[in-house]
Chain A
Amino acid sequence: MIWGVLQFPGSCDERDALNACELHGDGARLVWHESRELDGVDGVVVPGGFSYGDYLRAGAIARFSPAMEAVAEAAAGGMPVLGICNGFQVLCEAGLLPGALLRNVELRFRCHQVELIEEGSGERLSIPAKHGEGRYYAPEEMLDRLEANGQVAYRYADGHNSNGSVRDIAGVTNERGNVLGLMPHPEHAVDPLTGSTDGLRVFDRLARVAA
């Protein structure tokens, strides 16, 4: 599987994502935000960072980029798309994922290792989170629907929901399951030397969709 990693001005974690994709798949390349072509990749990562400075609202400008138009089309065709942190915000702004990310309940950026539970399998993952606007929010009816459809992918384990996300939700998918967004950073959990390798399982999950 060949991964493409979008790069916006203000992206921060695109090299980390590229590195994780290389470890996980058969290759990876950066896709410049002005490119309307995804250049034959099999899956896309919308990485973390502060695209266009995030001065308006996180992800609000990046969603209008040519590369995101290409991603929306590819996602509609079933291509796996992984939005991490700012990428999750971008996918929500673009309407590819339900809900929105609000400022953390403590109103501070926080970087720490968190534990996630994968919905369904119950698997526990240790992955770092680092964000100031990661409080997942959606209206109650929508949340009920997401849960009924199996669109909640990951929840924070007990005691790890430090941003105040509703129903402890850390990551969600679209209805089809090929678009996944989460606030914690699986691309920073691919090397035992820097903490854990649990992040690779998030990439695996999407690779299964592609298969």
Chain B
Amino acid sequence: MTVGTPKYRELGLTDSEYELIVEKLGREPNDVELAMFSLLWSEHCAYKHSRKLLRRLPTEGERVVMGPGENAGAVDVGNGYAVAFKVESHNHPSAVEPFQGAATGVGGIMRDVFAIGARPIAILDSLRFGELDSVRSRHLLDGAVRGIGHYGNSIGVATVGGEIYFEEPYEHNCLVNAMCIGFAKTADMVRAAAAGVGNSIVLMGASTGRDGIGGASVLASAELGEGDEAKRPTVQIGDPFEESKLLECCLELLEKGLLVSLQDLGAAGLTSSAGEMASAGGVGIDIDVARVPLREADMEPFEIMVSESQERMLAVVEPGRVEEVRAICGKWQTGSAEIGAVTEGGRIRILRDGEVVGEMPVGALVDGCPLYDLDPVEPEGWIYGNRETLAAGAAPERELLSLLSSPNIASKRWAFEQYDSIVGSRTVRRPEQADAAVLQLPEAGNAIAVSIDGNGRRVACDPYEGTIEAVLECAQNLACVGAEPLGLTNCLNFGNPEKPAGAWQLDRAVSGLADACNALGVPVVGGNVSLYNEGPDGPIYPTPVVAMVGELPDPEQVAGNAFVREGDAIGLVGPFEPSLAGSELAKQRGELKMGLPRPDVASVAAACELVRTAVRAGKLASVHDVSDGGLAVAVAESAIAGGIGCETNVEHLRERGAQPEEALFGEGPGGFLVSGDRATLEELGAVLIGTVGGEQIAIGAGDRSLSISLTTARDAWQSLPRQAAGVG
């Protein structure tokens, strides 16, 4: 290593990090050790630029069963049952190869959930692409949607919800965040810590190949740029059939009490699984790579240790039970091999046929990476572009139709019909029937609701307030189906944290997340961080994707978001104060700039409580959160969903300082559009804004009053298939 760049730099380590490794080992690392350190010390595995910030998040709560640090977080849902959940990014692989990137994102997050002994019962996904007039974005959208469907449908786990946004800054760096929900008997859940010196380490599932080598360091921890095609071999290939067998096998093994602990193999493969298991258990681990079943016989020890071949799990098993474990693996036609043992002394040793080829202290490998402080500097102004697609002063009807056909707002039916949303017989509300997915849990005697959200554009306008809004949006979505939040997880998708503006966005967003969770009393039970999301044109919008799980006692009472009955009153509940700042309309007019109004979190929380109680009591015919596109869009959506028009007037919002245009299309948290019996709405303190009925969507707003037919509105709202095909 005398000419050119030192190998450690190519593997993503800095000079000082390398020096620290040498110091901890007392010598230069060999190739096996260097490969292992470079992966576990990558941003993706070590969270070295985010870990300090994440300490701000509240993680404690009465209902928390498992918190951060486990494969997935979990909350108690009563009757001895728990719900596990986690969201994780697979952004860079998806930008290189969207089908496999998204598919393996789904496969990976499911393994995290069944690794703790929970059966996956639902998937949600949060996707971001560039604008749909770009061929590349349409290709990525199509591939990612097919990939999610391919994996989830084939394995038999329902995809029950999600969100998709299209914004220019994601053009080169799309986001694919997948969430999995699992359900378990709390007593049967298992942690990932290795225990019991002398116990066997058993590798289960697929054989190990060269796919995904270096994925963690090369792909996940560097900006995307020219020559990404050459990175294709580092994208993993998914096999849902293999995972389906592995899933059933693992759950049977856990049910029979045959495993001491279990861990999935994700980024950094065996290195990270073995390292994390040893670290959590305060023990050492020996692994003999000669005993790992391989796809290619000539693989080097370092390749075996860092391979990211999918559909593999690592288990700790008492020596006397290995044969029983292997017999059950045989029943499920899934591979198994005893590849090592738990040892004393806190060292991880890699052997080949008994000969040591690498040895390092577990502590240095797993927890030794330096954690960095950020150097945040607030940018001077709006650092992203503006593109006008709708002239200011257009007729209000034209504005509404332009918003309804925006792919951010338009119906996502084209995408979600490609997913099996019903397998498992738990789906009480299918996508777009209500603001949150609702899953019944007959075993626990209740139901859960799940929402995932994160409007990156608004976070770009104000990372602190925008992140608070993302949390509030989830809480409001849960309230719409009568659910009370139990816990939250998140995936922080940001640009380069080593750049001052990127650092500032991340720092402010994490503070917003912490403050919102504290104010609502919702614990953060887990999370994932994806940094360096940048393309040649700059960083993505800062995108904290927030996912919240809540509980509701009776799924029979869940109202939908569709207007139901002619003559029902329509009302607005909550401290909604609309503003065009950061709105979809401001985007279309090319008027985006920094700044969002400050929401009153306490009064939004009170409105959530009010709505939740009313829904649980079965008092409302429909409930819909006022979100993208403002009140006019919410009204149109409820009308389209119900196939019935309405006569409304939003001029009351003038009292809250809103101009007619803001009353129609202004955005902000805290608004619920409800319909039902007039007296009930009055009792609820709703501002009455109209009546359900007719074939027109009519909204009075002073000199911006509008009226369009239901059919015209529906055509605009259902235009996504044409746009995704590039013909509309």
Interface residues of A (CB under 8 A from B): 9-13, 15-16, 19, 48-50, 52-55, 108-112, 128, 130, 132, 185, 187-188, 191, 193-195
Contacts and interface: CB of A to CB of B under 8 A. Distances in A.
B425 A188 contact: yes
Interface stretch (B236-244, B265-273, B582-590): B236-244
B240 A50 contact: yes
A16 B240 contact: no
A62 to B, nearest CB: 12
Given A9-B241, A9-B245, A55-B241, A111 B422 contact: yes
Which 6 residue pairs of A and B lie closest in terms of their CB atoms, listed nearest first?
A12-B156, A53-B241, A50-B154, A16-B425, A130-B420, A9-B245
Contacts of B146: 108
A199 B155 CA distance: 23
A19 B422 CA distance: 14
Interface in B409-436: 416-428, 430
Given A9-B332, A10-B241, A110-B418, A194 B427 contact: yes
B556 interface: yes
A67 B156 CA distance: 21
12 contacts: A9-B241, A9-B245, A9-B248, A12-B155, A50-B156, A50-B240, A53-B240, A109-B420, A110-B418, A111-B421, A188-B423, A193-B555
Given A10-B245, A49-B156, 10 more contacts: A16-B424, A50-B154, A50-B156, A50-B241, A110-B418, A111-B418, A112-B417, A193-B556, A194-B440, A195-B430
Contacts of A108: 146, 418
A191 B422 CA distance: 12
B153 A109 contact: yes
Most B-side CB within 10 Å, residue of A12, A49, A55 = A12
Nearest to A108: B418
Majority secondary structure, B binding face: mixed
A196 to B, nearest CB: 11
A108 to B, nearest CB: 6
B425 A194 contact: yes
B30 interface: no
Most A-side CB within 10 Å, residue of B155, B420, B424 = B420
B440 A193 contact: yes
B134 interface: no
B241 A52 contact: yes
B603 interface: no
Size bracket, chain B contacts: 20 to 34
Nearest to A14: B156
A197 B467 CA distance: 42
B41 to A, nearest CB: 37
A16 B423 contact: yes
Contact of A194 (B149, B241, B244, B428): B428
A153 B9 CA distance: 67
B156 A193 contact: no
A92 B555 CA distance: 39
A191 B425 contact: yes
Given A12-B423, A16-B423, A50-B154, A193 B245 contact: no
A54 to B, nearest CB: 8
Given A50-B240, A55-B241, A109-B149, A19 B418 contact: no
Interface in B227-279: 239-242, 244-245, 248
Interface of B: 146, 149-150, 153-156, 239-242, 244-245, 248, 332-333, 416-428, 430, 440, 555-556
Contacts of A191: 425
A194 B422 contact: yes
B601 to A, nearest CB: 34
A109 B418 contact: yes
A53 B239 contact: yes
B444 to A, nearest CB: 15
Contacts of A49: 156
B425 A53 contact: no
Contacts of B427: 194
Contacts of B239: 53
A29 B462 CA distance: 56
Nearest to A17: B425
A109 B142 CA distance: 12
Contacts of A13: 156, 423
Contacts of B153: 12, 50, 109, 111, 130, 132
Contacts of A55: 241
A54 B154 CA distance: 9
Contacts of A11: 156
Contacts of B421: 111
Nearest to A53: B241
Contacts of A19: 425
B244 A10 contact: yes
Contacts of B241: 9-10, 50, 52-55
Most B-side CB within 10 Å, residue of A15, A19, A109, A128 = A109
Most A-side CB within 10 Å, residue of B240, B422, B556 = B422
Nearest to A16: B425
A74 to B, nearest CB: 24
Given A9-B333, A130-B420, A193-B556, A53 B154 contact: yes
Most B-side CB within 10 Å, residue of A11, A112, A130, A195 = A130
Nearest to A32: B331
Contact of B420 (A10, A111, A187): A111
A174 to B, nearest CB: 27
A175 B32 CA distance: 65
B417 A110 contact: yes
Nearest to B421: A111
A75 to B, nearest CB: 25
Contacts of B555: 193
Nearest to B332: A9
A13 B430 CA distance: 17
A9 B243 CA distance: 10
Nearest to A130: B420
Contacts of B422: 111, 128, 130, 185, 188, 194-195
Nearest to A187: B425
A130 B418 CA distance: 9
B252 to A, nearest CB: 12
A175 to B, nearest CB: 32
Contacts of B418: 108-111
B428 A193 contact: yes
A53 B154 CA distance: 7
Contacts of B156: 11-13, 49-50
A86 to B, nearest CB: 10
Contacts of A194: 422, 425-428, 440
B141 to A, nearest CB: 13
A109 B426 CA distance: 21
A9 B146 CA distance: 23
